[in-house]
Structure formats: C-alpha cells, structure tokens
Chains A and B, each alone.
Chain A
Amino acid sequence: MRLKHFTLLLWIALFLVVGEVALEYRAKSRGFGTLLLSGRGLSGANNTAVTAEHGFGPTEDYPFRSRVVPVAKPAGTTRIWIASASYAEDRRWAASEIFPVLLEDELRARGHDVQVLNASSNAYSLATAAKVLHEEGPRWQPDLVLAYHFSNDLDELAPRLLAVGGGGAPNATESRGEGPDGPDAAANTDADEGTPRTEQERWITSRVVEATTAYAQAKNQFKARIVALRILTDRLPPALLDALEERVEAVHGEARALGADFVPVRFAVSDPTSSSGPMPIAYRNNLFRYNSYLSEQAWRTGVDDYNALLVELAARDGLDLVGLDAALSGNGAYFRDFCHLTREGHAAAAKALADQLEPLLAARANEEGGE
C-alpha cells in the first residue's frame, strides 16, 4: 500500500494531537504544569522544577529532596536518612514545606546538630528503599534510618499474593499519580518495581509516557470506577504481612550493615479503622487508582496490621519505634487524600517526629559523650 492510502492514520494522529493540546491548554489555564505547554523542560533554564528550589536537592550530586549538604559528614553531626515514597517526597509542595525538611529545621531549632537526607521518591517501596540504602548509604553514612512506607508495598505485593491474574499477570508497574485533582498529579510516576532510577530517568519516563494529559485523564476517569466494580479483598492475606515483614527486615539489615540505627515509622492515614463512616469518595477513588485488589476495609485494617507488625518487630529486635499515626491519622486537616499530607500535615508530621526522635538523639549524644 502506498503512503497516500494511510490518510486515515494521519487523521487519527491529528485528532490525538489536537485533543492532547486542548487538554493541556485547559490544564495550563488551571495552573498546572503540562507536557507541552509548561516550562518544565529537561534542560537549560527550565530545569528548575526537576532540580527543585535553590538550596535543595535533588541535584546531579545530591540525590535527595532535602537541603543540600556535602558528602563528607561533619564531626558531631547526626545524619537522618528518611526512606519513604511520595508521602515524603511530595512534589505538590515546595521542598521547604515537606516534613523531612521541616523535621531538620525543628531538630536544629531544638539544638540538635542533624542533617536530614530525604531518600524518598514517588512509587518507592520498602524493597526499593533497601536497594537505595545499599547503593547510596555507604557514601552518605547515615546514623539513623527512618522507614516510612506501606501503600506502595501493599500495591506491589497484593496482586501476587492474592493469586489473581490467571489470564495474564497484572502489570506490576502500574502508573502512580500523586493526587486526585489534576494532570500534574500523574506527572510524578513510577519506577519499575524494586529498581531505583535516577531522578532524571524517572522524570524523562514519566514525561514521555505518563504525563500526557489525555492519557492521565483517561486513566483518572476509568480506573477508580472499574476497580470499584471488582471483587475486592477485605483483609490482607497473612502471606502479605509475612512479605512486608521480610521487606522491613531487609531495610533493617541494610541499616545495620552501615552501622546505623533503624527506626521504623508507623503509618498514618486519613481514615483509620477508628473513624466512622466511609472514606470521602474522592479519597476512595484515589485509593483505587493505586490499589486494584484491596477494598477500603482491607486498606484500613491493613494499616492497623502493618503498624502492629512494626510494634512486634521493634519489640523483637530491640528497635526504637516512632509513629505518625497517633498525631495525624483521622485528622482531615492533615490529609489531601487517603495518605498524602497537606502543608499542615507536613508541619504536624515534622513536629511529631521531632518529639519522638529527640530522646533518641539525646541518648545517642550521651552514648557518644560517654565513649
């Protein structure tokens, strides 16, 4: 066939491009950065969004979304490594507004010489956290390793452990948006399961594949509605908790290998089991955009099960345990969806963590002073 016979293909391409531009224009007019119309370029002067605000990472030499510090650790400084996901990376807010940075500010204000390395990234899980710690940890020499994870591990593990997907395995690298309310929400997207990529690589991939407004809109329109029609599981299978335990232990093992203290962090959510009534529909839709197999009930009880697991592990292994659940869970002002924080939530999280870490830091200081 000759090229002239393929005008149908060209028309289809034209419609897709026009539709894309129109949607992006709409998004742009609402204040979102978009694939084609925003200044979120990958090079030159427009690269500021990727490298974040002045003084904060990630940069080429500094892979963390926190205040840039040199690799060499000053004597007497305690380095706190925060291994988390979008909850702590949270590109919705400026770097100066997210809880790892606020935690550093809070602890310094209380007289502690600390540096917080925010090794959190969208879609990271405990499995990824262990890898990143293994690869980057020796260079940055953390003293405390805080692991704040749950939902991404749940989403990774559930399809396999629920033995679904007989007609073909579900895609393990589903896209993951940041929030329910805009094209920008889907811009920060996934890394392959357990495979950390550089910030630049992730951004390029997300830009090409996922940040397309039409694609993101289509996903947003359909996925949560479809998942709501499924037979969903109401309780985490025991094997899933076993797998979570293995993952927590893997991060613990990496921290121990670096000579750092491992501090698991109990998970906080907008709607814990104690809260009455169903989750707000927007939150539930957002939950179902990420998780395709567990019901709202399973999510709530799953968080309880996971937090109980951390308590058990901490008791068994003699670990210090901190948590954001008591301070944050169930407080609507602190959450912008089912697990991501508002500005107020980040501030409250930083304060809660500082309160709980202070005795640990004091104890460490005493130990070092004694030595």
Chain B
Amino acid sequence: MNFNSAEFLVFLPLVLLLNAALFGRTRARHLMLLVASYAFYMTWNWKYAGLIAGSTLIDYVIGLKLGGAQDPRLRRTLLIVSLCVNLGVLALFKYFNFFVESTDSVLTLLGLDVTLPTHSLLLPVGISFYTFQTLSYTIDVYWRRIAPERDLGRFALFVSFFPQLVAGPIVRASDFLPQLHHAPGALDGSRARVHAGMSRVFRGLFKKIVFADLLASLFVDRVFADPSAHSSLDLLLALYGYAFQIYNDFSGYSDIAIGAAILLGFHIPENFDRPYLSRNVREFWTRWHISLSSWLKDYLYIPLGGNRGGRTARNLMITMGLGGLWHGAGLNFVLWGVFHGALLIASRAADRHASPDAPGWVLFRDRFLTFHLVLFGWLLFRVRDMDHFAEFVGAFTSFSGGSVIHPAAVGLLGLAAFVHFTPRAAADELWKRWAHLPEVAQAAGYALAIVVLCGVSVDAAVFIYFQF
C-alpha cells in the first residue's frame, strides 16, 4: 500500500478514527496500531511479515537478556548474535546475489569458469530501515543508554509502526519507546495538532505526486533510459530533474510519515532540512536523510574511532562506503558512498580555512559548488550500472545542444527549485496563514487538493526509497 494510493486514503482515516475512538485505552490503542501496522506491511507481501516478527522477537529477547546480564562476555555474545541475525537476514536478501556475482566476475577474471548459485528471493520492503531500527535498540541496551523494553507489544509497535516502517525516518528506541510509556491522556492533542499533521501529509503528497512523479515521467526517466539519444543540455536538465525528484520523493515520504505520526499522537524525527542549501558536504549530511546519517555516525563512525587517532579519513571512507552499500547492492552505490566519503574528507580539510564571516558571494559559491558535487553523486546513484554511467558521461561530454524537453517541464523543475530554495521564514509564514484560515476553508482546500492530486497522479509510482 503506497502512501500515494487510494487504499491509503481509506486506510489512514480509518486508523485515525480507531485511534481516536480508543483514546484513554492505551493498551487497546497500541494493539490496534500494531495490527494496523502489520496489515499495512502485509499489503506488500504477507509472507515477509514473519521476518519483521522474527526480528522483533529476537531483539526483544536479546534486549531482555542484555538488561539482566552482567558478564561482559555474555553481553558481547548477545550483541554479536543480534548483529549476526539482523545483518545476516539483510545480507541474504539484499547483498547475497551482489557478492556472488561480484565473486563470479573476479573468478572469471582469474580465468576460473565457475558459476556460483544465486537466489531469486524478493527484497522485503523496508528491510534496511527496520533492521537498522532494531539494531540501534540492541546496541543502545548493550551500551546501557536505554533500559530494555519489557512489554513485547510496545516493542513490536516500535519496530513496525506503519508510518515509518517502509522508508523511515529511522526512529531510535530512545525517541519512540518513551512515547508508548506515557500515561493515557499524556499524548492528548488538539485541533491544532490535527491541522499540523494534516498539512504535513498533504505537503508530502504534493512533493511526491506533483514534483517527484511528474519530473520523473515528463523527462527524467526518458532521458536516463537512453542517454546517448539526448543532447548535453537535456542530460543536464535530467540530472537537475533527478536531484529534485529524489529529494521530493524521499522527503515527501518522510513528510507523510511524520504527518501521519502526528495525527496518531506520536513524534518521529525530521529527516530533511533543505539539503541543497548546504555550504559543504558535511552540512549536506546534516540535512539529507538525517536519521540515517546520524545512525551511521553514532553506530558506525564513532565506534570505529571517529575523528580520533588520526584515522578520520579511513573511518569516513568505511562509513560512507557502507552507507552507499546500504542503499543498494551495486557498485554504483558503493562508489556513490565512497565519493561522498572523499568529499567529506576534503570538506574537513577545507573547513580549517573557512572563515565564519564569509561574504555573500562566498556563501553562494560554496552552495553552488556543493550542490553540483552532490549532483554528480546523484548521477552515480541513478545509473543502472557503470556502463550506463559511461554512456551518460560520454553523451554529456559531446556538448551537444537542442532540447526535446517541453518548456512546461522545465518550468516545473524551476518551481521545484524555487520551493526548495524559498527561505524557511517565508514558507512558515504561508503555512501559518493557512493554519489561521477557518477549518471549513481548510477542509475545502484539502478536498480540492485530493481531487487535483488524483488527477495529476498519472502513473502512481512507488517511492524510490522503497527499493532500499
């Protein structure tokens, strides 16, 4: 069930009404949300619900054991079991074929004609997200940052909470579990909260349907499908288009997830903060997929040693390389991660010479440069494989002119950029004015938006990050 589907348009209000009807009956409400979350997931593939249930049960039990164990060796063993099980399942579904095929290629290069077996299992939707979520819980309990959750139902809801189950934001147990422990009534909201959640959901739908899907269908997908048939100008426009497509697709999903959570009385963390306004790549990673970058920092980069001991560069490369691999089992994703790792290293070096009082033109230059470095990274991210990358670069460096992209499609790209770069204060002011409109006027606006979004939703595409 996509967030941008007719089914979700029925599902979400139904869950909201049940959630409200169960106000004050915390356990029943949690149980309803748990059932709704599993039902939501099972619309993708009911068989894989067992994977989430299994992962939940294992980490619940290991969490309890870790909470009671004092022996450091036992604690380490329990942690290793959790890591092995969670990462093992992830590796089996997501990386097994990639590693087997890579090994095959190496063996072929060495002159050995061996064909290793691969599997044809479908990648469970959201597995990368919920695996990282459960891992963070076990590691936090191991580090004694949080107490283990003793209630299986609450823990299961933390793992499977449907707004963020499929594509994040990756929620930490320390952020979410306390919200489940509030006494009935403590999460009471108001109309203002409903309005805030609703506007967030609609902003997300707008980003997804109007910007992401339309940019993709009007020209981005067509140009990327056959780069050598297009001019350099069109390739550049398609790359810009993809930058705004992926931003609006993913941040749109996050907006809907955050909005749905608000409507249900929960808070889940922000995932984006206008990333293309970053002055350097370090800042970019504090504004893009914030929940993943902070996860990688806290659970990988810092345990590797962080920026201590003169191993910053190595640690950054490992972290970003694995971060790239997290996105997909492909060489282009690894290279994308390594590219960002190299940019982060360069960015740290450049920071030493940066002046805090830089003039406006320096700020513009830095933002422009950072955006275009990130743009090059998106090319690595978007291509099917390295041959496709070479085809794109080859066609682009022909520096041919002319365009088959409709001016209106370029206008839409400009509008997406304008919305992204609009100062936050101006956007907030607009939303504040909207929030002050009478409820009836808002409802009329939302009803009209639903009809328009249904009409504009020409090819209801799944969210890009679902594949990760």
Contacts and interface: CB of A to CB of B under 8 A. Distances in A.
A223 B460 CA distance: 12
Interface stretch (A6-14, A74-82, A98-106): A6-14
B464 A226 contact: no
Given A167-B249, A169-B462, A219 B443 contact: no
Contacts of A222: 452, 455-456, 458
Nearest to B20: A3
B268 interface: no
Interface residues of B, number: 64
B260 to A, nearest CB: 13
A209 B246 CA distance: 29
B458 A1 contact: no
Main secondary structure of the interface of B (DSSP, over half): helix
A214 B451 contact: yes
A3 B217 contact: no
A17 to B, nearest CB: 9
A1 B217 contact: no
A162 interface: yes
A326 to B, nearest CB: 35
Interface stretch (B113-121, B188-196, B273-281, B299-307): B188-196
Interface in A1-27: 1-3, 5-9, 11-16, 19
A219 B263 contact: no
Interface stretch (A125-133, A136-144, A186-194, A227-235): A227-235
B20 A6 contact: yes
A189 B382 CA distance: 35
B160 interface: no
Nearest to B411: A229
Nearest to B404: A231
Contacts of B405: 231
B255 interface: no
B455 A221 contact: yes
Contact of A230 (B194, B218, B224): B218
Contact of B456 (A170, A217, A226): A226
Interface stretch (B11-19, B44-52, B144-152, B283-291): B11-19
B222 interface: yes
Contacts of A217: 451, 455
Contact of B225 (A14, A16, A163): A163
A218 interface: yes
Contacts of B23: 1-3
Interface in B195-244: 195, 198, 212-214, 216-226
A69 B446 CA distance: 52
Contacts of B447: 12, 15-16, 19
Interface in A304-331: none
Given A174-B459, A214-B451, A8 B191 contact: yes
B217 A215 contact: no
B218 A231 contact: yes
B214 A231 contact: no
Given A1-B188, A11-B439, A6 B455 contact: no
A209 B9 CA distance: 12
A177 B165 CA distance: 35
B6 interface: yes
Contacts of B195: 8
B407 to A, nearest CB: 9
A164 B263 CA distance: 36
B189 A1 contact: yes
A44 interface: no
Interface of A: 1-3, 5-9, 11-16, 19, 159, 162-171, 174, 209, 214-215, 217-223, 226-227, 229-231, 292
Interface of B: 6, 13, 16-17, 19-21, 23, 187-191, 193-195, 198, 212-214, 216-226, 245-246, 249, 263, 265, 382, 404-406, 408-409, 439-440, 442-444, 446-448, 450-452, 454-456, 458-464, 466
24 contacts: A1-B189, A1-B193, A2-B20, A2-B23, A2-B188, A3-B17, A6-B17, A7-B191, A12-B446, A164-B217, A166-B224, A168-B216, A168-B464, A170-B217, A170-B459, A171-B460, A174-B459, A217-B451, A218-B451, A219-B454, A220-B455, A230-B409, A231-B405, A292-B217
Given A11-B442, A11-B444, A165-B461, 20 more contacts: A1-B187, A1-B263, A5-B189, A6-B16, A7-B439, A8-B443, A11-B443, A13-B13, A19-B451, A159-B459, A164-B217, A165-B459, A167-B213, A167-B221, A170-B217, A170-B461, A226-B456, A229-B409, A230-B217, A230-B409
